[in-house]
Amino acid sequence: MHLLRRLSLLTSACCALAFSLGAQTYPSSNDPRTNLKPGRFDAGEAAMGMKLVSFSKKPAQFDTVRGLTFINSDIAFATHYAYQANFAGLTVWDIADPVKPVAVAVVECITSQGDPSVWGNLLFMSAEGAGNRKDCGKGGVQDPKDHMAGIRIFDISNPRAPKFLRNVETCKGSHTHTIVPSRTDAKVIYIYVSGQQAARPETELAGCRNGTDPADPTNSLYQLDIIKVNVDRPMDAMVIPGARIFTGLEPTPECIRFCAPTPPGGRGGRGAAAAPGAAPGAVAAPARTGPRNCHDVTAYPELNLLSASCSTHAILVDISNPEKPFRIDAATDTNNFQGRHTAAFSNDGKKIIQTDEWGGGTGPMCQAGSMNELGGNTVLTLDDKKKQSQRGYFKLPAAQSAEENCVSHNGGLIPVPGRDLYVQGWYQGGVNVMDFTDADKPFEIAYFDRGSIDPPAGADVPMRASGGAQPADFTRSRNVIGGSWGAYYWNGHIYSSELDRGLDILELTPSANLSANEIAAAKLVTYTQFNPQSQPRMTWPAAFVVVRSYLDQLVRGNGLAAERTSAISVALDAAEQRTGAARSSALTALAAQVDRDANGARDAARVRAMAGEIRRLAAVR
């Protein structure tokens, strides 16, 4: 969440330029998610392709919306626990039974924004901003020596009683962070720290220095900070020289298409875009500098790659040596996709998603007049030399209300073989699943959404009494920030961190766009720990549901003649009834037939992939 910067920084009357907004598109108001009943715990709901398994309210310690002090943020997972961060601490959920999750620990520790990650028995939390104290205490910072910005480390060997170990201070603090494991020492991990603020005074932390030269190694800006941690000796964690991946970057080009409008007499970015057919308004030129920091970076350690979301730039980094990362490529565009926020790789590493947090996460950027080309996702592809090319755009297709903060936010892959599926949170836009298998034409296949927390303007709301008792809900005010911070697939379910309300656990359901076989195949992929910004490779065991997933995809996309898909289905059913050598022989013969089917098939690559999965299954003894 980009709380401190607003797109008003991109708009200025003195430098406004007029461009044609061209082929903008807009979300639909003819959608079950539009105009749902508002309410905190009794809001209307709409779902397609997924269902709500359970909802758990925030613990009492965090059940307030006093500004942004007590909102939930991100989640990390280990064994049967979900570690849900909050700007004021951490909730540990036992999710062994997703129908009845249990809050087994609440750690009160003011840590904005608190993004967590886990590694073995350690938990790390990001801290940035002026209100974090070294001792986790409330009340703010009165003496600079008490200020903490960087990474907090906790011992979670007993998840029901996390123990604070130490703070590792960094010059810019930590808005988010990413774990990159050492390739040569299983005991060592590196924490790549994305800090959004300026460097702290040297009187507060020695060695910190602001500057404007990206090539100046004494400049604390223009780098990702790196912390080296021996997991057996976390008290020895230390900051090492950072990743200077910004040196030599060109400024972002001037915006030409899909540019953020400037509302008359107001700030840009927070208001809706002009409605379809409206006259083009004035737009602002993006800042004419390269980035000096990143909002998030996502590592794919098995491929030695890291994708950095750095405001105006998407930067691809080689992390084969985590202590000496280097930039491979940097991409920007002449569209106003200037709030790059989060990244994710496809499982094969050939595509990258970059999200755009237009409005910083607190604005209603999904209204009927908010263009689809801002505040959503863009898909990039990588060629053989790791050069990035921008392809399609995707945004939540359902119009949301003016009371709902909404924009693209955090998510992760769903392990369906043969497809690239991404589940993510859209704040009060809810949770949805994007299929980006075709990089040029990403589309939605599932969603879950609630009505706004606040009622629309003009509705009766609790007001301050004139003396005497206050309404029970008085501490809540209009324009409450809520919705899904991030949604992640973890061992068979989707977990969504609801900023204001609590924790949602969802499950995919069969639909025209996702079959029961594909859902079952996804459930075969399990992990013992998962940090959304450190992406694992997804692998599937040989299984009939994996083969049938490919078959279902061929049927859905008309990738192979109907008579052949029917015959293959019958042959798979027959083979499954056999055992031992008879099954193996039947599957081997079927794989040979499917190889021949690939010749002339509309989707030959998928047919060949299915043949390979049939052979893998035939080899199982």
DSSP 182-224: -SS-TTEEEEEEE--SPPPPTTTSTT----S-TT-TT-SSSSE
Exposed/middle/buried for 192, CB within 10 Å: 0-12, 13-18, 19+?
Answer: buried
Q: Which of 249, 331, 321 is nearest to 290 (CA)?
A: 249
Decide: 77 and 490 in contact? Cβ < 8 Å: yes
Confidence of residue 254 (pLDDT cuts 50, 70, 90): confident
Give the three-class secondary structure for 523.
coil
pLDDT in tens, 57-69: 999 999 876 666 8
Preceding peptide of 470 cis, ω within 30°: no
Higher pLDDT, 9 or 183: 183
Q: How do residues 455-475 score in pLDDT, each as one tens digit?
A: 987 655 443 333 333 334 334
Per-residue pLDDT at 1:
61
SS3 429: coil
% of the chain with per-residue pLDDT over 70: 87
The mean pLDDT of the chain is: 89
pLDDT of residue 258: 80
What is the structure's pLDDT at 288? 54
Q: What is the pLDDT of residues 169-195, one digit of tens each?
A: 999 999 999 999 999 999 999 999 999
Write down the pLDDT at residue 334. Answer: 63
| pLDDT value for 493 | 98
Q: What was the pLDDT predicted at 65?
A: 66
Which of 6-15, 154-163, 297-306, 491-500 shows the lowest per-residue confidence on average (mean pLDDT)?
A: 6-15
CB 255 within 8 A of CB 283: yes
Give residue-wise pLDDT tens across range 314-344.
Answer: 999 999 999 999 999 999 876 666 678 999 9
Q: Which helix (H) or strand (E) holds 587?
A: helix 580-597
Check whether 269 has a pLDDT greater than 70: no
| CA gyration radius, the chain | 25
C-alpha to C-alpha distance for 617 and 611, rounded to whole angstroms = 10
Annotated domain spans of the chain: 7-260+290-454+482-530, 544-618
The two three-digit tokens of residue 548, written as one number? 């049938």
Tokens matching residue 111: 């840590």
C-alpha to C-alpha distances, 122 to 117, 234, 235, nearest whole angstrom: 8, 8, 11
Q: CA angle 496-497-499, nearest 5°?
A: 135
Does position 287 have pLDDT exceeding 60, yes or no? no
What is the number of alpha carbons within 13 Å of residue 468 lying toward its C-beta? 4
Backbone angles phi, psi at 87, to 5 degrees: -60, -10
Q: Which CATH number fits domain 7-260+290-454+482-530: 2.130.10.10, 3.40.50.1100, 1.10.1370.30, 3.40.50.2300?
A: 2.130.10.10
Tell me the percentage of the chain whose pLDDT exceeds 90.
80
- Report pLDDT for 5: 34
Distances (CA, A) of 522 to 14, 149, 238, 355, 527: 53, 39, 38, 24, 12
CA distances from residue 549 to 273, 412, 516, 575 in whole angstroms, order as listed = 40, 20, 8, 16
Which carries the bigger pLDDT value, residue 621 or residue 299?
A: 299
Decide: helix, strand or coil at residue 92. Answer: strand
What pLDDT score does 255 carry?
76
Entry pTM: 0.91
Pair 17, 285: CB distance under 8 Å: yes
Mean pLDDT (whole number) for 41-52: 98
